[in-house]
Amino acid sequence: MATQHSTPTIPNLRDKLPKLEPRRRRPAPANPLPLPETPPLPSPPDLSSHTFQVPSRRILSTKDHELFLSSPTYTLILAFVFGLSDAVVDTPISAVKDDECSPAIKSILSILDEAEHLVLETPPDESEESRFGNKVFRTFLDKAKASSPSWHQKLGLTSQDAIAEVETYLNNSFGNRTRIDYGSGHELNFIIWLLCLYQLQIVTRADFKALVLKVFVRYLELMRTIQLTYYLEPAGSHGVWGLDDYQFLPFLFGASQLLHHPFITPLAIHQQLTLEEFGHDYMYLGQVRFVNSTKTVKGLRWHSPMLDDISSAKSWTKIEGGMKRMFVAEVLRKLPVMQHFLFGSLVPAVEGMSTESEAGVADEENEVEGGGVIVEHDGVRHVHNANSWGDCCGIKVPSAVAAAQAAKKHGAGELRRIPFD
């Protein structure tokens, strides 16, 4: 009898094969720095029995800096700067019309126009074939300082003590007389000048949009003229590893302007046509266009790798938050920047902070290279000349603006490309 062989069954491999699952993306690393919020802006002080004082440096040690960072003045500055930034969210420059500006805004704009006229009537010394600062810049500062009292009278200030306090910030917003340089600290002086006008109730919250899109934009144009005319050296520059040789706030305010833009993305800074078409309406694009024009090589990745890196962000929201973090970390929390900050009665220091006479350092206008900060080493206190790299002795950095202008004078054509590009 034949044996019947059963047909072998084919094993079901479905349960043995691993399930195909989409690859999970690694989460982006969390930013350890919290996004700084906009504090409420205090109302202007009661000036009925106010005593004005000429501003002076008070952050002259690490202890002074720590006191400042926990003070009401720190919160006041943060509230004012972030309040200005928040006021221009999704707003192009052209949205603010001249006839909509208050009389105070128009007076401030006329002051900046007169300052530019002083630049034009004070040409640089062309015999100085140098890429470092042109010494005629000091003559311009002298003229601006002489005109300053009448400028502030236009704003309605009659008290000489009030003018002496407020004008100090404007006079120090054009650059340093001794070093012939300019940086984010001088830019901050201009903002503090506007803050003083707010404290004096010359400008109000209703003016914030115009303060950014009219006044600050006009100040930027003035400073570009000054930089191109006198070859101001970048103060505390990090070279290509910095955001910009001179300015910071155009990137903060500019990111707010573009926060929810329907088609201009962060990568648009690499598109020359976009920069040309929209640079006049959006500060971020306008500043990138100016940076490109002042370099001797072509390509953001070569002369401004930090801006190049930032352009890879997915949204302007990311960039705006990053700029707020950077303002806190790289301006207000940086001792080499804040050692030059001036405190008066409208933007006051707190009790316990050093004075210039106690520290034995020169005032801001007459200080030598690098500035002075009191440090303690091995139990010995001494004045330390700090720069933004944390070194005692900074190295003078020639102006990239001067290099570009020199190249144009010698007939250079298009920007040279890096051979690896």
- Residue 145: how many CA atoms within 13 Å on its side-chain side? 15
DSSP string, 313-350: SS-HHHHHHHHHHHIIIIIIT-HHHHTT-EE-SSS---
How far, in Å, CA of 177 to CA of 336, rounded? 18
Classified as helix, coil or strand, 397 is coil
At residue 33, φ and ψ (nearest 5 deg) are -90, 120
Q: Is 190 within 8 Å of 169 (Cβ atoms)?
A: yes
DSSP string, 79-111: HHHHHHHHHTTT--GGGS-GGGS-HHHHHHHHH
Specify which residues 373 forms β-bridges with. Answer: 384
Cα 190 to its chain centre, rounded Å, is: 11
- Give this prediction's pTM: 0.84
How far, in Å, CA of 131 to CA of 5, rounded? 98
At 391 the pLDDT is 40
Q: Residue 174 has which token pair?
A: 């054009």
At 159 the pLDDT is 95
Average pLDDT, 10 consecutive residues per value, the chain (421 residues): 65 74 72 85 94 96 96 97 98 96 98 98 81 89 98 96 98 94 93 98 98 98 95 70 81 97 95 95 95 77 82 94 94 92 97 87 65 49 47 50 58 51 45
Is the dihedral angle over the CA atoms 101, 102, 103, 106 positive or is it negative? negative
Place of tokens 């930090």: 306
How far, in Å, CA of 245 to CA of 236, rounded? 9
What's the alpha-carbon Rg for the chain, to the nearest Å? 27
Task: Find all residues with CB under 8 Å of 405, minimum gap 6, and list them.
Answer: 228, 231
**Nearest in space to 167 (alpha carbons), one of 203, 192, 131:** 192
Dihedral, CA of residue 317, residue 320, residue 324 and residue 326, to nearest 10? 110
Q: Is 375 within 8 Å of 381 (Cβ atoms)?
A: yes
At 40 the pLDDT is 96
How far, in Å, CA of 353 to CA of 418, rounded? 49
At 131 the pLDDT is 66
At 318 the pLDDT is 95
CB atoms closer than 10 angstroms to residue 66: 13
Classified as helix, coil or strand, 382 is strand
Cα 290 to its chain centre, rounded Å, is: 15
